Amino acid sequence: MTLRTILDTIYLGECPRWHNGELWFADWVAGKIIAVSEIGAARDVVAVKSLPLSFDFDPKGNCLVVNAAAKRLQILDAGALVDFARLDEAEYGYNEIVVDDAGHIYLNNINFAFPGGDFRPGFIALVRPDGSVERQAGDLAFPNGMVITPDGKTLICAESFNGNLTAFDIEADGTLTNRRLWAKIDGQGADGICLDETGAIWATSGPRCIRLAEGGEVLDDVPLDRMAFACMLGGRDGRTLFICANEWSGSVDVRKPSGRLFAVEVQEKRGGFPR
């Protein structure tokens, strides 16, 4: 595998999504969502001064933005952010988002001040079409990246503080049941994740991105020169693995852009959600 650098002007890249021939991602420190082509032509999509800052696309192609600073789930409409759901029932801002073809919107919340705050277990919530928010699953050790299988029946969440990839069944009404361990990553926690067509998961974990089978067998390993934060399969044939990686020692140096968007070609194309 040959790793190439797509973009080197990032401060803290997160939440990559492949959409309409571009890789979209959030720069948490710069406070904006950026879209970039496979050859590195970048454009600013929208400014959102929020940390964390995450987004995903619904079945109609609308961009749903988790604005943690405003405690709102918003829709990007003609360059402006329009409120869809209030998220102020939670003490802390929400983190990651995933949306499936049934329109189920799942958000997670680490539920404590990070960095520096005392740890508390986090949770996953479901946002209904009317904007109501229902907590579904708790007792998660820093819930982070989430994926939903192509059949829409399983949600898997990465827990950063224990390395667990934790799975839930998705019922017809969107509720989460039957919690179980899908895999455990030894030695490091897990951050952003994505699914390939075989059902394997690519997970960012420390200075690497690894491909895991259910049960935890490591199938592939992409080493990096800095901390891997999130990954997404995309590209014209769905076989380009994009990786957001940042220099990290507990904080980010805001004086210089030390984040990178890397890409590497892999054998299996993307599958499941996020798209």
* Residue 175: DSSP 8-state: -
The answer to whether residue 270 is domain-embedded is: no
The answer to whether residue 85 is domain-embedded is: yes
CATH number at residue 103: 2.120.10.30
- How many structural domains are present in the chain? 1
What pLDDT does 187 receive? 82
Condensed to tens digits (0 to 9), the pLDDT of residues 154-209 reads 999 999 999 999 999 999 999 999 999 999 998 888 999 999 999 999 999 999 99
The domain of 78 spans 4-265
The answer to whether residue 108 is domain-embedded is: yes
The answer to whether residue 88 is domain-embedded is: yes
pLDDT band at 219 (very low <50, low <70, confident <90, very high): very high
Residue 74, token pair as written in the block: 């918003």
pLDDT band at 252 (very low <50, low <70, confident <90, very high): low
The answer to whether residue 273 is domain-embedded is: no
Condensed to tens digits (0 to 9), the pLDDT of residues 50-99 reads 999 999 999 999 999 999 999 999 999 999 999 999 999 999 999 999 99
What value does the CA radius of gyration of the chain take, rounded to a whole number of Å? 17
Torsion of CA 199, 243, 185, 225, to 10 degrees: 150
The answer to whether residue 272 is domain-embedded is: no
The answer to whether residue 275 is domain-embedded is: no
pLDDT band at 253 (very low <50, low <70, confident <90, very high): low
Q: How far apart, in whole angstroms, are the C-alpha atoms of residue 274 and residue 100?
A: 7
Q: How far apart, in whole angstroms, are the C-alpha atoms of residue 85 and residue 72?
A: 6
The answer to whether residue 174 is domain-embedded is: yes
Residue 68, token pair as written in the block: 């943690």
pLDDT, mean of residues 229-249 = 94
Report how far apart, in Å, the C-alpha atoms of 89 and of each of 71, 107, 146, 167, 169 are: 9, 13, 21, 25, 25
Contact 42, 28 (CB under 8 A): no
Condensed to tens digits (0 to 9), the pLDDT of residues 81-91 reads 999 999 999 99
Contact 246, 226 (CB under 8 A): yes
Q: Is 77 helix (H, G, I), strand (E, B) or coil?
A: strand
